[in-house]
Amino acid sequence: MEEINDTRLKEIQELSNTIQDLDAKVNIEEVIKNNVSIFEHEKIKYRLRKLTFEEKLELINFKGKKYLELVKNKEYLFEKEWIKIYKEREIDIEYKEKQIKLLSSQIKNWQLKLAVVNLPEEIKEVEQEITELRKKQIDYHIEISELMKYSIENKLNYLVQIYTLSIILEKQVEKEKYERVFKTFEELEKNTNNDLLAKATRIASIFMFLPEGDSL
Amino acid sequence: MIKELKKIARSSRWISLYRLSKEHSGIHLFNNTQELSDLQLIFLNWLNNYEEIIIDIVNKRTNLQIEDLEDDLRVEAYLYWKSQQKNDINKNEVKHGRR
């Protein structure tokens, strides 16, 4: 488990560096105003945009179909089933979730203190406590998401995000004209340009163009 | 990213624009006026948060100073403390039959 965590932490660190790198390159203010993020990959301009209302409806249909497929497929398990399996292997996810809640309430107590302290050394001390508790909370979150990555919920979330990407990723064809890179979801599934997809996924996640969890 | 978004939201330019957009219906913050994205909603929330804190600072209702707006932990702590204060007031009003 510790080993998995280290690998995951490394990945997160790399992602964090990429995000910082992207932050520097992408004009966030423009994305806030226009809901469009333009980026370059191998000297070609691409853009990502938010979904339209009609596309959101299309996505809900897709989500429903995929959910049914996953539920019917006995190879996939719900998070609750994974929790049971892990418990048999003495990995207690419910305990970890309780710890997250406990840490959250501890953080809130420290926040109430931070709001009223005045002295710089007191402020520093309380801020350190909050930062430490948040780190512990993040560790638990990483651990749980690692353990749950093969669940139906996670798989569905992944498929919805990839489907979204197939709709919102566009390539510049003329100065002001962009066209979808993947005309269909199937086309994206066959795609071999993993670098482009990885980059587009990161940018789309940063700017919340990809739906998360039950947000649909 | 959220750190950068907060930085933009607390800039005097955006705070002024936000105030103006509330007073004048012809002034829009974004190119779209409907179907705001999640990012825009979060941004609006932070514009509102910073505007409220600035008002509290001006009215000396908080120990925070304008430069403390850059300290995300203190800002979050203040917002949470303020929400708790509001909850307590509401609970008291309900208890004393004022609502």
Closest chain B residue to the Cα of A127, Cα to Cα: B73
Q: In the structure, what pLDDT confidence band is assigned to residue A2 with cuts at 50, 70 and 90?
A: very low
Token pair, residue A172, equals 């510049």
Task: Give me the pLDDT at residue A1, please.
Answer: 43
Three-point CA angle A80, A83, A87, nearest 5° = 145
Region of A36 on the Ramachandran plot (φ > 0 left; ψ -120 to 50 alpha; else beta)? beta
Residue A215 to residue B38, Cβ atoms within 8 A: yes
Report yes or no: B80 at the A interface, CB cutoff 8 Å: yes
What is the band of A107 on the pLDDT scale with cuts at 50, 70, 90?
very high
DSSP collapsed to 3 states, chain A: CHHHHHHHHHHHHHHHHHHHHHHHHCCHHHHHHHCEEEEEECCEEEEEECCCHHHHHHHHHHHHHHHHHHHHCCCCECHHHHHHHHHHCCCCHHHHHHHHHHHHHHHHHHHHHHCCCCCHHHHHHHHHHHHHHHHHHHHHHHHHHHHCCCEHHHHHHHHHHHHHHHHHEEEEEECCEEEECCCCHHHHHHCCCHHHHHHHHHHHHHCCCCCCCCCC
For residue B95, the model assigns a pLDDT of 76
Please list every residue in chain B whose beta carbon sits closer than 8 Å to the beta carbon of residue A31.
39
Within 10 angstroms of residue B18's Cβ, the number of other Cβ atoms is: 19
Q: Which residues pair with A128 in a beta bridge?
A: none
- Full-model pTM: 0.82
The answer on pLDDT for A193 being more than 60 is: yes
Please count the residues of chain A: 216
**In this prediction, what percent of chain A has a pLDDT beyond 70?**
86
Residue B40's nearest CA partner among A18, B48, A147 is B48
For residue A206, give the nearest of B1, B8, B63 by CB distance.
Answer: B1
pLDDT in tens, B83-98: 999 888 887 778 777 6
Decide if B1 and A19 are in contact by the 8 Å CB cutoff: yes
Q: In this complex, which of B4, B39, B78 lies closest to A208 when CB atoms are compared?
A: B39
Contact with chain A for residue B41, Cβ under 8 A: no
What's the complex ipTM?
A: 0.85
Distance from CA of A115 to the nearest CA of B (A): 5
Determine phi and psi for A194, rounding to 5 degrees: -65, -30
Tens of pLDDT, residue by residue over B28-58, are 899 998 889 889 999 999 999 999 999 999 9
Q: How far apart are CA A102 and CA A205, in angstroms?
A: 28
